[in-house]
Structure 1
Amino acid sequence: MRIAQIAPLFESVPPRRYGGTERVVHWLTEELVAMGHDVTLFATGDSTTSARLVPVREVAERFARNFEYNAAPYARMIELVRRQAADFDVLHFHIDFHPFSVFTRQDTPFLTTLHGRMDQAWVPGIYGLFPDANLVSISDSHRAPAPGLGWAATVLHGMPRDLLRPVPREQDYFAFLGRISPEKGIESAIRIARACGVKLKVAAKIGEEDAPYHAEVVAPLLDGVAVEFIGEIDDAAKPAFLSGARALLFPIDWPEPFGLVMIEAMACGCPVVAFRRGSVPEVVEDGLTGFIVDGVDQAVAACARLDTLDREAVRKRFEQRWTARRMAEDYVALYERLMKKRRTA
């Protein structure tokens, strides 16, 4: 199958460190190539891939402030893909609503996986214009705020089976992994750890947009003893970090569309204690791969029961549910369905 993957242009594929969407695009692209498909990746020129790379922008620049400087590469990307569209069996976009105006008016089957939240006031105004665009949600809860759109499928994320594995470590702390921001629940994680009398290690990115929140709210809570800030870590550091944790704390305060850190923890045999928001009930299996809780008090009680969970079973469940091969197979089945639908039409 000839497949085009069209990635965002703010981060490279894969991202150097933080960057969930670009990481998923990379994993999917590599798995499709490994399955024997002919894949072309439209992305930034500093991306690394086994597929054929079409560099749309020389390098990734997330925080370029000039509007035209950031918008022009997407206009260029749309045109480059359009000119080559007939060379592909299917076009798979990961750039939100950008392709709709052009690609709903051409013959090659296309789909768009949405990676961001759908509960924003502006969503119906743009997505509602294109009811026939094939949209993919990354959890069933992801699509709940906008049920009337053209949802073609839900495809849960997956990651390479052997990218992260358990390593021998004594579990003597809780882990917080991801990004410092109010919606990710760092303050709740600190309260949970302190109530349990367990050290919290924080491996997280501080984005430019969240720098004031970190400086004013979070930094005063980081004493280096009960709460240790490690900073942003890459995949090479994650096995030791997660294997040494009693649990990953995931006390989110927003409708998380998926949450890659949950399956990263599971890959290392680390259970997840997560608030019941967004995709959490679809990812965490309560009593098997972690505990789903409602609030800090329930999280503290759940942490007292972590010894009842089998870390080997957590890893085994990861292998059964959360691999990139499973994700790629789900997408190939969807590609084939869309191609058949187009032929029939």
Structure 2
Amino acid sequence: MNILMIYNCDLPPVNYGGTERVIWSLTKGLSQLNHNVYLFSQVYVECPWAKTIIFDSSKPIDDQIPDYIDIVHFHTNGSTEKKPYVITKHGNNNIDKNIDPNTIFVSRKHAANHGGEAFVYNGLDWSEYLQPNLNKSNRDERCHFLGKAAWRLKNVQGAINIAKKAKIELDVLGGYRLNLKMGFRFTFDRHVKFHGMVNNATKCKVMDQSKGLIFPVTWEEPFGLAVTESLFMGTPVFATPYGSLPELIRDQDLGFISNVEDELVSAVRSKSYNPKYCNEYARDTFDHLSMAKCYIEKYESVINGTFLNNFTPKPMSQLRNLSYFKKLPYR
């Protein structure tokens, strides 16, 4: 199969780049399954397993898609009348925009929230990650937060509060002590270390020393790469029950879910987990080859003329209005 990827991010991924890393892993997985992958880009992309098709942004996309392409895979809003296509929706949709019936979401809840049903879990090429030491004895000393800390819905302040109450140090991956991007925020706490935007190697080294991911998001998380990456590194996840998170943290051996801060604090303090179980679950469930195989099934359905969603998905009247973590209901 000849597959054309259209995206609006930089490849190969630099630093964290969650969506970029998923697309990169998908292209590799498709190639390893003996499919031909092409990257639609304005600049040449150095990629051992995919070829670059240079496009001119001033011209219509349909005029630039080669005849030999079997399916077009958009990772941004788009469509084409020339070839069958699918669209992966990586985030939550604006409520005033309709959604294409061949949209693929990234979790079951993500799809349901938007009135659809087709989804493929994100996967990663775990060979690009540090292989974790699952027998370390010093994992009880600190936890980590992974995500765009400047974005309030990721709720880094909630993670800091939980760590402080649990009397454990916290590594923040993806944020800075002083943040001016979304209003003034300065975190003065010597028990919290801000690492900024880190590359994959640094991220893995920090997670390899961690007791767990503290992830009290206050929105409908579409997927949560921070969760699967942390699980792969052998760390459980302490999170709120929003969006995809109950799907990913499917049993109590993978972490703890609650929207009650004190319950999360208690779990961080007292619960113990098997790093090997967490690692094997992520390794076998959220790998790039499993993701690629699922996408191939979606491609084949669309090529055969079948819509991926049985009805035209409608955007939610509104996403669940999740307030700041401190304002969530407590029991």
**Structure 1 residue 222 corresponds to structure 2 residue 196:** no
Report the CA distance between 1:185 and its aligned residue: 0.9
Contact 2:239 2:258 survives alignment (8 Å): yes
Which deviations, in whole Å up to 9, do the C-alpha atoms of 1:94-125 show, x marking residues without a partner? Answer: 112x32xxx2x33x21100011112x33224x
Q: Name the structure 2 match of 1:278.
A: 243
1:291–1:56 distance in 2 versus 1, CA, 3 Å:
farther
**Residue 26 in structure 1 maps to residue 24 in structure 2:** yes
Find the aligned partners of 2:256 and 2:14 in 1 and give their Cα distance.
31
Q: Matched residues, percent identical?
A: 28
1:321 Cα deviation after fit: 0.7
Instruction: Give the structure 1 partner of residue 197 of structure 2.
Output: 232
Cα displacement (A) at 1:250: 0.8
Structure 1 residue aligned with 2:206 = 241
How does the TM-score come out when normalised to structure 2?
Answer: 0.84
The question of 1:264 aligning with 2:238 is answered: no
2:53 is matched with which residue?
Answer: 54
Equivalent residue of 2:127, what SS?
A: coil
Cα displacement (A) at 1:285: 2.1
Distance 1:56 1:17 in 2: 26
Name the structure 2 match of 1:313: 277
Aligned partner letter, 1:7: Y
Higher alpha-carbon deviation: 194-203 or 155-164: 155-164
Give deviations 1:135-173, integer Å, cap 9, x for gaps.
Answer: 1010122123331xxx47210001013222213652111
Give 1 or 2: higher helix fraction.
Answer: 1
Q: Which residue of 1 aligns with 2:329?
A: none
In 2, are the aligned partners of 1:222 and 1:229 still within 8 Å (CA)? no
Which string of whole-angstrom CA distances, capped at 9 and with x for unpartnered residues, describes residues 73-111 of structure 1?
A: 4x64xx345432532111111112x32xxx2x33x2110
Decide whether the 8 Å contact of 1:18 with 1:205 is kept in 2. Answer: no
SS in 2 for 1:304: helix
The letter of the residue matching 1:89 is: D
1:205 Cα deviation (Å)? 4.1
Contact 2:108 2:117 (8 Å CA) reproduced? no
Code of the residue aligned with 1:289 in structure 2: it is L
Q: 1:198 to 1:205 in 2, by over 3 A?
A: closer
1:56 and 1:204 map into 2 onto residues whose CA distance is 32
1:190 matched to 2:160: yes
1:16 aligns with 2:18: no
**How far 1:44 sits from its partner (Å)?**
4.8
Shift of 1:305: 3.6
What is aligned with 2:180?
A: 211
Letter in 2 for 1:110: Y
Match of 1:158 in 2: 123
Q: Who is 2:4 aligned against?
A: 4
2:41 match: secondary structure: strand
Q: Could you say which structure has the greater relative contact order, defined with CA pairs below 8 angstroms and 6 or more residues apart?
A: 2
Alpha carbons of 1:336 and 1:295: their partners in 2 closer, same or farther (altered >3 Å)? same
Structure 2 residue ranges without an equivalent (≥5):
307-331
In structure 1, how many angstroms separate the alpha carbons of the residues matched to 2:245 and 2:42? 31
Structure 1 segments of 4 or more deviating over 6 A?
none
